Amino acid sequence: MPKGKVTTLRLQQMKQNKEKITVLTAYDYSTAKMVDEAGVEVILVGDSLGMVMLGYDSTIPVTMEDMIRHTKAVVRGTDHAMVVGDMPFMSYHLSVSESVRNAGRFLQEAGANAVKLEGGREIAETVKAIIAAGIPVMGHLGLTPQSVNQ
């Protein structure tokens, strides 16, 4: 089990040392507790909770309130792992300032250590602004469930 809280600095050191970094998803306190006790470095609270926990047929209906509530529960079950909150659909699409505000809610209200956004070049300025605000960001490339309607 890791000693102390996993930070972005610790993850960077692990990458430099070619150590494996484990990331698992949790949506609630009990699962987070088990995953954390197993020594996983990063717990992602994914917007997939919309399908897995709330019964939606996609991630699109998931709200900031849903994500904040579930992220809070995961944080309460975590002592060591870094907790990353997944920014839901439309929470980072309307304006850079609203995106920064929503990302900040994950840290202030939910206690997350970082946020995750889906996308590439089209969200680069948003990611830059969130990082400039002091909020760590985990990127998501490849399969992007939030673009299911495109």
- pLDDT per position as a tens digit, 100-112: 999 999 999 999 9
pTM of the model: 0.92
Selection from 121, 120, 123 nearest residue 102 by Cα: 123
| C-alpha span between 128 and 77 (Å, rounded) | 30
Average confidence (pLDDT) over 62-68: 98
What angle, rounded to 10 degrees, do the helices at 29-37 and 64-76 form? 50
pLDDT class for 143, splitting at 50, 70, 90?
Answer: low
Domains contained in the chain, CATH given = 8-18+27-141 (3.20.20.60)
